[in-house]
Amino acid sequence: MSVLTIVYGFTAVLLATYGLNSLIIAPLYLRHRPFGKLRTPREHQPPPPVTNAPPVTVQLPIYNELYVVERLIDAVTRLDYPKDRLHIQVLDDSTDETSALAQARVDYHRTQGIDIVLIHRPERTGFKVGALQRGLETAKGEFIAILDADFVPNPDSLQRTITYFQGKPRLGLVQARWGHINTDYSHLTRAQALAVDGRFVVEQTARQRSGLFVNFNGACGVWRKRCIKEAGGRQGDTLSEDLDLSYRAQLAGWQFLYLPDVACPAEIPPQMNAFKRQQFRWGKGSIQCLLKHWRTSLAGRQPVFVRLQGLIHLSNYLIRPLMLILLLLTLPLLLWQGMMRLPVFYLGLRSPGQPCRRPGPRLRFRPCGPRPPNRLC
């Protein structure tokens, strides 16, 4: 049982580290949260609208999106951006009737003067990464905006993000916040919306405005094309190519900007199976990026705190297996009284000698010690 005790203690320490990091992120957000112009740093305040709009390519990677592909294409063509500076790529890897629907909408909008093209790959080599890289080879824009099939961008989304690139040659990415269009569909979508807001409103804001590593969230962001190329391009050796590219770009010296006040609505997975597949991709991809970048992240030129935060950020999905290990070890250690030898109470916020309230004829505080018979501490 000594081995189980050591494993339990080590796992509890790791989980306590992630919990402590949450207590660090929360005050960072409260310090840097947007609260009007007096609380918003100058670099995050909206610059004036662009006078000479740069060329932008909007990439729409789709795969068997029968029910949302027309909505996506129509929403992108309504973007309030000069039509002669906007290039739209529908990157289609579909194997069903999605391709026919997408081609019909592309043909229609081309007759309306929209520079839009459909690029269909008969073989889905590299999956989404391969489609994006294929489109990048013929992209006309100086900047690359990416939207997944479940997004419905607001008409002013591109104008509100592209303006931040003015006068900032080392700004490689502007990331907007994910919004929700079906929050009230079910209890599952409400729970997901709460989790996504905690991730995108609190954590992303705190990390970016504190100078920590952040990541592109796969959609609803605008990249500088030169940043993508100098960072090594899109690589398909992980499922989270967005996280992989983000760290390679930041380690190469590029800057990122996160805009919590610019929301891009998206559809939350309404079924449990779709939610589980999404979490599997995110979890596996994050661990792949951890294995790929943990050495370079720790050996970077950033401050020690930034490098440690980057390691915690990359390994965040380890919380799930760590909690499972802790749960499976609790029962055997309780049966063999192995937990009595573990001072795990030091990992909590409340020390063992802190006074606590006991029921009695008079309410007073006493130090917590061994529990007397039939008395509650």
Query: So which residues are the catalytic ones?
Result: 93, 242
The span from the CA of 285 to the CA of 237, in Å, is 9
The CA distances from residue 177 to 151, 157, 180, 320, in Å, are 12, 11, 10, 25
The span from the CA of 353 to the CA of 368, in Å, is 6
The span from the CA of 313 to the CA of 17, in Å, is 12
Strands 171-180 and 221-224: antiparallel
The span from the CA of 300 to the CA of 295, in Å, is 9
User: What are phi and psi for residue 31, nearest 5 degrees?
Assistant: -75, -35
CB 121 within 8 A of CB 134: yes
Structure letter (DSSP) for residue 276:
H
Percent composition of the chain: helix, strand, coil (DSSP 3-state, to 5): 50, 15, 35
Name the packing angle between helices 304-314 and 2-32 (round to 10°).
Answer: 110
279-292 b/e (C-beta count within 10 Å ≥ 16 → b): eeebbebbbbbbeb
